[in-house]
Amino acid sequence: MGKKNAGTKIACENRKAFHDYFIKETYEAGLELFGTEVKSLRAGKANLKDCYASFKDGEIFLEKFHISPYEQGNIFNRDPMRKKKLLLHKAEIMKLFGQTREKGMTVIPLKVYFKQGRAKVEIALCVGKHTYDKRQVLAEKAAKRDVERALKERNQY
């Protein structure tokens, strides 16, 4: 019997989340998926764009998480836009639920990956950025880049 791969393989990422939100806390959650969805996810055919988490009856679900139908899946394929249940401890769900009731807080998935053969999703408790926040962050990045470039040029001489 061989060991499963201990490393992680990223299936998809939500890079735009870092641009649109301030990340407060991150959590790792399991994903409840069916066979053909897992195969499609392993092939990298998933999209986290516009995806968010919602709460219902003490459970947490991912909404608008698109996993393309598996090409060889035929009748076993599921609806690509169906709600996917997240697997978290009840205390974590209640904590997230309470914090999302605060003004402007939401739960956004950052990336989906495989860890020891199991599909996991990294979710984050976030606050939305305003336009002026985004401009300020871009200005700070540009200033930092200019300083690093100047130091690099100075060290070359």
Q: What is the DSSP secondary-structure string of 99-157?
A: HHTSTTEEEEEEEEEEETTEEEEEEEEEEEPPHHHHHHHHHHHHHHHHHHHHHHHHHH-
In a domain, 121, yes or no: yes
d(CA 33, CA 77): 11
Instruction: For residue 118, give both structure tokens.
Output: 């199991």
In a domain, 150, yes or no: no
**What is the pairing mode between strands 21-31 and 8-13?**
unpaired
CATH label of the domain that carries residue 30: 2.40.280.10
In a domain, 134, yes or no: no
Domain count, the chain: 1
Q: What is the pLDDT of residues 87-129, one digit of tens each?
A: 999 999 999 998 888 777 899 999 999 998 888 999 999 988 8
Q: What is the pLDDT of residues 51-77, one digit of tens each?
A: 899 999 989 999 998 888 877 767 667
pLDDT for the residue 122: 93
In a domain, 83, yes or no: yes
Domain that holds residue 22: 8-129
In a domain, 65, yes or no: yes
In a domain, 27, yes or no: yes
In the DSSP assignment, the letter for residue 61 is E
**Alpha carbon separation from 123 to 7, 32, 137 (Å, rounded):** 19, 15, 22
